[in-house]
Amino acid sequence: MPAQILRRRDMLMAPWTAPSKPLMIGQPQAALEGLKVLESGGNAVDAAVTGALTAGTVALLSSGIAGYGGHMVIAWPDGKVRVIDFNTVAPKNPPDRVHQYGWLSVGVPATLAGLDFALRKYGTRSFRQCVAPAVRYANEGFPLPESLANSIRNLYPEHFSKDPAAAKLFAPGGKTPEAGALFRNSDLGAVLDGLGRDNSAEAFYRGALARRIARGFKERGGTVTAADLAAYHAREVDPIEWRTGEWRAVSAPLTSGGATTLQALAALDRVKQTVGPGSGPKWQHARLEALRIAWRDRLALMGDPSQSPDPTPKLLSDATAEGSARMIRTAVKAGKAIEIATRPVEADGTTHLSVADSSGMLVSVTFTHGDGFGARVVVPGLGLILGHGLSRFDPASGHPNSLAPGRRPLHNMCPAVLFRAGRPVVAVGATGGRRIPNALFDVISRITLEGQGLRQAVDGQRINTTGGRDTALTGAWSAEDRAYLKSAGFDLQEAGAAVIQALAIAPDPVTASR
């Protein structure tokens, strides 16, 4: 494509040259199969769907085609952005309380609906083509990594052994598999093969397969019915965004975690002139406080915007950003933590894929079971590992994120795309549950506010908080930074961070993960 200047809305867009090569990063087999699609002429959506279906077969711990869902951000070279929302919903007659695992923790499985929707609307390949690698992995098997074999062994006594279909899948003959053993899921292979023949995921939600899934719920005491499956549809929604200078960060709206990341970025942007970007302890304090304020608001105000007021416009407003900045400036000047108390939030898991095709289309998609192996139950005869989306509701009543019929729960995933001078140049997302919004904040702020390149930003230090004073640090933090944060009143711990999977197509194509 020749270099050119285009206008979109009121923004003068930078000269544009198509990327020199397609890129994809994420779960290894998923990225491998997706790159094959890109190299054979498929677009970024084709590759993302192929990769997600593959990951749903081999990344047993973190995702599956019956996972509870996620969000996909699609960005075009001309500045257009769309978001596919495929979060789970609570059934019409949900349980009377929030359950962490088991059949009562399962909402309507939504991952497959979202992938099919995105492919039909914006892909160029058929569902039959995209699902073929997943069918192969399910039927022919793949060697179990040691970490996955260990997880199966550790979860078997308390979870898998209590669900007959899970016990059959994960411990055939009563023995869990060793690392390196070939893991096959022929029941899942048959389901995927049937969907491929239909060239659609429709039967999963409406038809004979859907009735078999609903029967599994009924027999095992779950609350999802055939009517709940039939009523489910993925949907296309508008993105949310934050801008600074020539940069524009775009993510998914509620019920994703994108608003939390963007709110923290907006606040930090307002204090950079007085505190000053860099690695000094006062800047680190400002970064931490921006996240704490955003998490305070997230945990108190956010829920499904179709059933409760959407606080996002206010939280991403200039007034809120400036109000937060004033609090941060005061705290940094005093060298003391802002008085914020929140309930600790625990969640882990997820799969993320970042994709760029040769036309410059970028896709950032995150999807999940939830915690490892989701609900830790399997649909009999179908090999479907179910996600535990209902566990993501707040257990308290009367909260915007309380469990209610037809409601979508909050989740932590926040796939994002960064634009520079009007052009999409970075696709970024992460795996790691509640740590995801903070990891995205760390990477995006370093790129947009500190001027770092992608690899430097991904390799940098990480802060993790959910609003309280407990603060997890990852990476090479200086003694000066640690001493300052301790003196400000923070309880510092060492902990792993979310794993970022990101790519940049300008100025040079590059991928980065950490």
Domains along the chain with CATH numbers: 17-235+353-392 (no CATH), 240-347+416-513 (1.10.246.130)
Answering whether pTM is above 0.75, one says yes
- Read off the pLDDT of residues 322-365 as tens digits, 9 standing for 90 and up: 999 999 999 999 999 999 988 766 656 799 999 999 999 999 99
pLDDT at 496: 87
Residue with tokens 């020749």: 2
Neighbours of 313 (CB within 10 A): 11
Question: What is the average pLDDT across 486-514?
Answer: 95
Q: Report the percentage of the chain scoring pLDDT > 90.
A: 92
Whether residue 6 is predicted with pLDDT greater than 60 in this model: the reply is no
Burial 401-413 (b: 16+ CB within 10 A, else e): bbbbebbbbbbbb
Q: Nearest 10 degrees: CA dihedral of 372, 375, 378, 384?
A: -70
Asked if residues 293 and 437 have their Cβ atoms less than 8 Å apart, the reply is no
Of 15 and 124, more confident: 124
Q: How confident is the model at residue 7 (pLDDT cuts 50, 70, 90)?
A: very low
pLDDT at 9: 41
Whether residue 3 is predicted with pLDDT greater than 50 in this model: the reply is no
Neighbours of 356 (CB within 10 A): 30
Q: Nearest 10 degrees: CA dihedral of 111, 510, 264, 244?
A: -120
Q: How confident is the model at residue 12 (pLDDT cuts 50, 70, 90)?
A: low
Residue with tokens 């075009």: 76
CA distance 17 to 499: 30
- Read off the pLDDT of residues 391-418 as tens digits, 9 standing for 90 and up: 999 999 999 999 999 999 999 999 999 9
- Mean pLDDT value across the chain: 95
Q: Which amino acid is at 100?
A: Q
Question: Which of 17-21, 240-244, 263-267, 442-446 is predicted least confidently?
Answer: 17-21
Q: How confident is the model at residue 194 (pLDDT cuts 50, 70, 90)?
A: very high
pLDDT at 347: 57
Asked if residues 250 and 81 have their Cβ atoms less than 8 Å apart, the reply is yes
CA distance 248 to 212: 45
Asked if residues 258 and 305 have their Cβ atoms less than 8 Å apart, the reply is no
**CA-CA-CA-CA torsion sign (242, 341, 408, 429):** positive
Going through 357-448 in order, the beta strands assigned E by DSSP cover 362-368, 378-379, 384-385, 416-420, 423-431
pLDDT at 8: 41
Peptide bond into 507 cis (omega under 30): yes
Structure tokens at 146: 């040691």
- Read off the pLDDT of residues 106-119 as tens digits, 9 standing for 90 and up: 999 999 999 999 99
Asked if residues 238 and 227 have their Cβ atoms less than 8 Å apart, the reply is no
- Contacts of residue 503, Cβ cutoff 8 Å, sequence gap at least 6: 23, 24, 25, 354, 355, 356, 362, 426, 427, 428, 454, 509, 510, 511, 512
- Contacts of residue 155, Cβ cutoff 8 Å, sequence gap at least 6: 372, 373, 376
Q: Where are the alpha helices (DSSP H) in 123-253?
A: 127-140, 146-155, 164-170, 186-198, 202-205, 208-220, 226-231
Closest residue by Cα to residue 81 from 423, 449, 310:
423
Q: How confident is the model at residue 100 (pLDDT cuts 50, 70, 90)?
A: very high
- Contacts of residue 353, Cβ cutoff 8 Å, sequence gap at least 6: 24, 25, 26, 27, 30, 31, 34, 48, 51, 52, 55, 363, 364, 365, 366, 429, 501
Question: What is the average pLDDT across 127-136?
Answer: 98
CA distance 8 to 362: 17
- Contacts of residue 459, Cβ cutoff 8 Å, sequence gap at least 6: 512, 514
Whether residue 487 is predicted with pLDDT greater than 50 in this model: the reply is yes
Closest residue by Cα to residue 188 from 381, 350, 59:
381
Question: What is the average pLDDT across 151-175?
Answer: 97
- For the chain, what is the total number of helices (H) and then of strands (E)? 17, 21
CA distance 14 to 493: 43
CA distance 381 to 366: 28
Region of residue 489 (phi > 0: left; psi between -120 and 50: alpha; otherwise: beta): left
